[in-house]
Structure 1
Amino acid sequence: IPPIDVNNQSRFDVYEILKYCVSRFDRNIFNRNIKAYKTANVCIEALKGNKVLCESAYEAELHNRLSYFLRDKGGKVTGKYHLVGGSKNKKKHQYVYLVIESPGYSVAIELAATLRKKDLVDHFSRALNYSKLLKSSEVWVVHFMAEDEAMKNLCWPNDKDLKKGLRVVHIYHNLDFEEVKTTAFWLIALIIIFLTITLNYRFWFKM
């Protein structure tokens, strides 16, 4: 089971937890007869217009797995976390897909499902806005994707968004969820020597 950060008992290793939870997804949600599907704008199994899971399906399953994992570890997860932005005269109600909370620490998670690059970039901006409103400790975009050869042409945040703390993980799977691959990317700044190091964490597994 993924450990709590040994240097901060309120902080979880989010990437390890995501890998753990995804590896335990119920494959029945990938039954293409269910209604939680959308039409993809990219090639899947050499075809355009194929059906893929929409964000709400991933949200429900990931929420379930996170809840089970966090229940005895001092944390909790909330789905459709309500935020209010905008001005005093015109408030704007927004909802984060998932928020993980433990004493003194919070993580905002924006979900995306098999998107083109230009659409995924919108989720990057949205996630940073949510993080600002929530004042979260970490902010993640989790992109589930079934596009052909998706891992060869990934979309990452620009330097500006990375420096704001945005963390991105791409999770590829085939339509039956029999093969899963994931890779993540974020920045860690070493202020003492005024150097920013980019770490690219990769994890591959087959189910």
Structure 2
Amino acid sequence: VNGKKGRKPLADTTNLQEEIIEKSVPLKSDSSAPVAKKRSISKVLDVPADVPLRDDKFIDILEILKTAIYDFDQGIIALGSSRSYKNSNHLYVNSEHYIKVPRESTYDAEMYWVLMKWLRKIHGYEITGQWHLEQVCDDGDYHHLYCDLTIKKPNSPHLEGLLELLATASILKLEGHFEQIFKYEEQLHPREIWIVHFSREDYVVTNPYWPSEKLQEKGLNVVHFWHDRDFKNVRMSARFRDSSDNMQFEIEETNLLRSSIARFSAKNDKIKAENNKIKAENDKIKVENTELKTRIAKLEDKQTQNKLIKNLLSVSQKLLT
């Protein structure tokens, strides 16, 4: 069975934007087993990192997701395929079926950690994971619903974004969540709703599955992240409404490692410039201190001379009397 079989045609791209990015990050390890790296948001973000904004001044959810991906722990994601895993079943992963792939909880934990360290700790945003909701469904019974992640700006009465995460999901699973997320929206009323799909499936980016045009018109945004087993390479395909709600179609390929290196280089240049400025100020202070010491020494010499003259005058007056 071909992995592309059964996929529906893409919906109309009216008022939508599509973007593809690529990430390549080396995984450092002294052995064949993945090793979790030390967690530090500052290694990726220019702390205090500004929150990306759209042209309409609302937060840019997609840019936030792309930035968060930078700081996912490669070792933890890699271990997900052997410790916290599920089966890919009929989906092709490395051209094979029934491959162990990370569960949703692996990505959920990483995303929550990064957003908390960045948006919550630095900027005071409210980040809520597994928001417990209740709803009376068609069968007349109460059902418990759990929204994966929400983002809320400080001092704002409304949620900025609602994120529903999935992991290597089938088309049937995706369709279910495309509908499910609107149940969360009915109760939480966020400004944007996003399906965030992390997948090891071979065709998830080259032939992504999108929601119906009707759901897209209702405001459903979707992003697919493909990655290899060790999280060394990540590709992304997203469809979403832009800030002006106009029709846009854009394809972009970016080497995130190169972008990251460029950002580190710019950050280092900034630090070097600040250090040079501090060094210049210190040198100036040293010169001023030297001048001050010289002036103090001169004053002390003058005081000594004045004291000597005073003593001589005193002796002279005694001799005259």
* Interval containing the TM-score (normalised by the shorter chain): 0.7 to 0.9
Offset of residue 157 of structure 1: 1.4
Are 1:19 and 2:73 counterparts? Answer: no
Q: Which amino acid aligns with 1:38?
A: K
1:99 to 150, 174, 196: 150
Are 1:130 and 2:180 counterparts? Answer: no
Residue of structure 2 in register with 1:165 after alignment: 219
Offset of residue 105 of structure 1: 3.5
Query: Number of aligned pairs?
Result: 201
Distance 2:224 2:186 in 1: 23
Long gaps (5+) in structure 1: none
Question: Is the alpha carbon distance of 1:73 and 1:136 closer, same or farther for their aligned partners in structure 2, counting shifts above 3 Å?
Answer: same
Offset of residue 8 of structure 1: 6.4
**Residue by residue, what CA displacement relative to the aligned partner does 1:123-157 show, whole Å, maximum 9, x if unpaired?**
11111221122111110000001112331110111
Asked if the contact 1:186–1:199 (Cα under 8 Å) also holds between the matched residues in 2, the reply is no
Offset of residue 201 of structure 1: 6.3
Are 1:139 and 2:186 counterparts? Answer: no
Long gaps (5+) in structure 2: 1-48, 258-321
Residue of structure 1 in register with 2:141 after alignment: 90
**Residue by residue, what CA displacement relative to the aligned partner does 1:53-89 show, whole Å, maximum 9, x if unpaired?**
11111100100001111022131211111112116x7
What SS does the aligned partner of 1:123 have?
A: helix
Residue of structure 1 in register with 2:16 after alignment: none
**Residue by residue, what CA displacement relative to the aligned partner does 1:178-201 show, whole Å, maximum 9, x if unpaired?**
10111211235868xxxx524556
Are 1:60 and 2:109 counterparts? Answer: yes
What SS does the aligned partner of 2:123 have?
A: coil
RMSD of the TM alignment (CA)? 2.3
Are 1:28 and 2:75 counterparts? Answer: yes
Higher fraction of strand = 1
**Residue by residue, what CA displacement relative to the aligned partner does 1:95-131 show, whole Å, maximum 9, x if unpaired?**
0011111123311110111112222111111112211
Q: Which amino acid aligns with 2:79?
A: N
Distance 2:68 2:102 in 1: 17
Are 1:149 and 2:207 counterparts? Answer: no
Q: Which amino acid aligns with 1:68?
A: K
Asked if the contact 2:128–2:151 (Cα under 8 Å) also holds between the matched residues in 1, the reply is yes
What SS does the aligned partner of 2:241 have?
A: strand
What SS does the aligned partner of 2:92 have?
A: coil
What SS does the aligned partner of 1:150 have?
A: coil
What SS does the aligned partner of 1:120 have?
A: helix
Asked if the contact 2:219–2:241 (Cα under 8 Å) also holds between the matched residues in 1, the reply is yes
Residue of structure 1 in register with 2:163 after alignment: 109
Are 1:39 and 2:87 counterparts? Answer: yes
Distance 1:203 1:130 in 2: 33
Question: Is the alpha carbon distance of 1:6 and 1:165 closer, same or farther for their aligned partners in structure 2, counting shifts above 3 Å?
Answer: closer
Asked if the contact 2:168–2:198 (Cα under 8 Å) also holds between the matched residues in 1, the reply is yes
Asked if the contact 2:150–2:163 (Cα under 8 Å) also holds between the matched residues in 1, the reply is yes
Are 1:72 and 2:122 counterparts? Answer: yes
Question: Is the alpha carbon distance of 1:23 and 1:189 closer, same or farther for their aligned partners in structure 2, counting shifts above 3 Å?
Answer: closer
